[in-house]
Every structure is written in C-alpha cells, then in structure tokens.
C-alpha cells in the first residue's frame, strides 16, 4: 500500500507519476474520480480513480490537443492549440479542471480556466462534457462569462442540484460567483461579487452543517501565501470577513478542492514546482478540523486522506 507523503511525488498503480494538479474529485459508483492538470506532451487534463484514496488507477488523459470539439450555445473559441508566427504549434493552458454530474442531462460536465498559452490575457472559462466520468469528453470551447474575466476557478453543486462556478475576476481583484444553467453548460446569473480588491485565488467551496465555506489563497503566482477562509449562510448572501487558514504559506500549499468524506472534510492542495519546474509540483492533503465555525489545519508529513 502506498504511503502518501505531503510534498513528495505520488505514483499511480502502474508506477507513473500522478499529474492531477489544481484538481478536483467526484465520487461516483463507488470510486473517487480525480481530475487534474497534466502538462506533459499533448495532454491537458488527466483522470485517475480510487476506491480507498491510497491507490490510484490512471484512467486516461481526458482532454488533450486532440479532443473532439463541438460548439454549444455560446459563440465560444473551440481551439485547443494555436500556430505561432513561426508556424510551430502551441498548446493553450487549461487550469484547475472541476467536474460535476448533471442530473438533468445525465452528463459529466467539466469546467476549467482557459488561457492562450502565451500569457494570461484571455481569462476565460472552458467547458467539456461526456456521458462517462473518465473518457469520451467533447470540448465545447472557452468564453468570458457575461464578458467578465474568469481565472482561478471552482465548481460547487448544492444539495438541491443547483451548481455554481466561482472564479477570480477583474484581473483577479474580485471573486465572482455565477449560478449555472440547469444543464451546467453556461453561466445563468452572476449571484455574488466577493472581496473587492482582495485578490483571492484558488477558491474551494464546501458545505458543512448547512453553512457554505470558501477557502482561497492570495494572488502570488506559483509561490504559496497565507490561505484564508470565510463562511456564509447562502452562496448569494453575505460572506464573513476573511480569516487566516494555515500558516503564512498555508504550509507551502494552495487550495485545489475540499473533499467531503465520511463526515470529514479533506483539504487537497498543490505544492507547485514553481522555479524547479511545473512537473515537479506535488500535493498537500490535510484533514480540516473545526473550532466552532472556524476551520483549521495542522501540518502532517503524511497525507491525511
Ligand atoms: C497561480 C494560480 C495557478 C496558475 C499560476 C500561474 O496563482 O493559482 O492556477 O494560474 O498562478 O502563474
């Protein structure tokens, strides 16, 4: 059995390095499906699955430069690569992929942050769907929701099936939350604008005892910084003031997502390779504990899954 250590490379059941950065998990038919960024070769997003969260089976690269594309409603940009002025192909960036199952359409719907591969000026969201959790995805393109910027992002599905997309907007200064349409394919309405001028990134939302929590980081690129938490009675209501989560580098990590599991809440985060190299990025996984409403983490060398 794998002993998963925080900040060390993790390997799948075939012995290959797990690339699932900026990721997300979806529990489905007895498996935890883990989606995340994979920047190797022509890959964008990988999928692994596990029953016990100790051993991970690689299921495939679900979005690559060769993924089939199909437009859907929005007049969106379907390109999954570009040609540079010198004629060389250039990958785009697809970051922080998140996947939900839509009850109404029976589709697995993936949202991510799109950039053009040259700089971070596009600030768009991107959408893909499949009939299966781990293969068969079609890419539906990228767009700016209601013309707004959308960078670091997350998805959250409430108990009543309503889904929300939250992303850093206005050049990362503010955090926007949009309610999604019933098919999870588009933003339907901007329902909140949070923390104007606070530059919150890497949002991760979870619900505990009827309250909504959001973890986020400050905006310092690949360098870790002080995490913060906030709580609200409703997604579109008033959120509490930001308070510290973890230490001044959030134990060298930036939030990816929070996994609710058997009454516990697990903080899944990235420790980015930064200047050493993106593919050297690792994971930090800690159990979130609560002091009343205050969520907190304590560092442990072993991943607390
Ligand atoms: C981080 C962000 C990452 C990635 C990176 C690029 O702040 O959380 O997802 O976009 O910047 O520098």
Q: What is the pLDDT of residues 138-154, one digit of tens each?
A: 999 999 999 999 999 99
Q: How do the pLDDT tens digits run along the chain, 305 residues long?
A: 568 999 999 999 999 999 999 999 999 999 999 999 999 999 999 999 999 999 999 999 999 999 999 998 767 899 999 998 899 989 999 999 999 999 999 999 999 999 999 999 999 999 999 999 999 999 999 999 999 999 999 999 999 999 999 999 999 999 999 999 999 999 999 999 999 999 999 999 999 999 999 999 999 999 999 999 999 999 999 999 999 999 999 999 999 999 999 999 999 999 999 888 999 999 999 999 999 999 999 999 999 99
Using CA positions, which residue lies closest to atom 12 of ligand 1? 221
pTM: 0.97
Ligand 1 atom with minimal separation from the 220 CA: 7
Regarding the beta carbon of 61 and ligand 1, being less than 6 Å apart is answered no
CA separation for the pair 193, 180 (Å, rounded): 15
pLDDT tens for each residue of 211-259? 999 999 999 999 999 999 999 999 999 999 999 999 999 999 999 999 9
Using CA positions, which residue lies closest to atom 2 of ligand 1? 221
CA separation for the pair 246, 228 (Å, rounded): 8
Quote the ligand 1 centre to 272 CA distance (angstroms): 9
Q: What are phi and psi of 234, to 5 degrees?
A: -150, 155
Quote the ligand 1 centre to 67 CA distance (angstroms): 24
| Residue in the structure block whose two tokens are 């992929």 | 97
Regarding the beta carbon of 21 and ligand 1, being less than 6 Å apart is answered no
Q: What is the CA radius of gyration of the chain?
A: 18
Regarding the beta carbon of 201 and ligand 1, being less than 6 Å apart is answered yes
Quote the ligand 1 centre to 114 CA distance (angstroms): 12
Quote the ligand 1 centre to 227 CA distance (angstroms): 14
Using CA positions, which residue lies closest to atom 5 of ligand 1? 221
**Pocket-testing residue among 97, 122, 221, ligand 1, by greatest number of atoms within 8 A of Cβ:** 221
**Pocket-testing residue among 21, 112, 152, ligand 1, by greatest number of atoms within 8 A of Cβ:** 152
Contact assessment for residue 54 and residue 305, using Cβ atoms and an 8 Å cutoff: yes
């Amino acid at each position: 059995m794998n002993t998963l250590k925080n900040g060390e490379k993790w390997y799948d059941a075939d012995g290959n390095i797990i690339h699932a950065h900026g990721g997300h998990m979806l529990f489905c038919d007895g498996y935890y499906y883990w989606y995340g960024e994979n920047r190797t070769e022509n890959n964008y997003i990988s999928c692994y699955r596990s029953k016990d969260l100790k051993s991970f089976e690689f299921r495939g690269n679900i979005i690559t430069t060769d993924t089939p594309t199909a437009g859907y409603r929005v007049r969106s940009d379907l390109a999954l690569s570009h040609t540079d002025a010198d004629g060389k192909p250039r990958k785009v960036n697809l970051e922080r992929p998140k996947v939900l199952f839509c009850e109404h359409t029976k589709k697995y719907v993936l949202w991510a942050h799109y950039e053009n591969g040259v700089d971070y000026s596009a600030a768009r969201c991107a959408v893909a769907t499949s009939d299966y959790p781990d293969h068969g995805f079609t890419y539906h393109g990228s767009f700016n929701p209601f013309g707004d910027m959308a960078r670091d992002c997350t998805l959250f599905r409430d108990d009543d099936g309503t889904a929300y997309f939250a992303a850093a907007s206005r050049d990362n200064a503010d955090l926007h939350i949009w309610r999604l349409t019933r098919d999870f394919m588009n933003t339907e309405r901007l329902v909140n604008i949070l923390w104007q001028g606070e530059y919150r990134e890497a949002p991760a939302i979870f619900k505990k005892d009827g309250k909504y929590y959001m973890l986020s980081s400050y905006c310092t690129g690949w360098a870790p910084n002080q995490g913060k938490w906030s709580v609200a009675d409703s997604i579109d209501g008033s959120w509490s003031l930001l308070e510290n989560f973890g230490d001044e580098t959030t134990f060298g990590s930036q939030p990816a997502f929070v996994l609710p599991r058997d009454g516990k809440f697990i903080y899944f985060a990235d420790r980015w390779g930064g200047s050493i190299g993106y593919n050297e990025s690792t994971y930090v996984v800690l159990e979130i504990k609560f002091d009343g409403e205050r969520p907190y983490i304590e560092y442990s060398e072993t991943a607390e899954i």
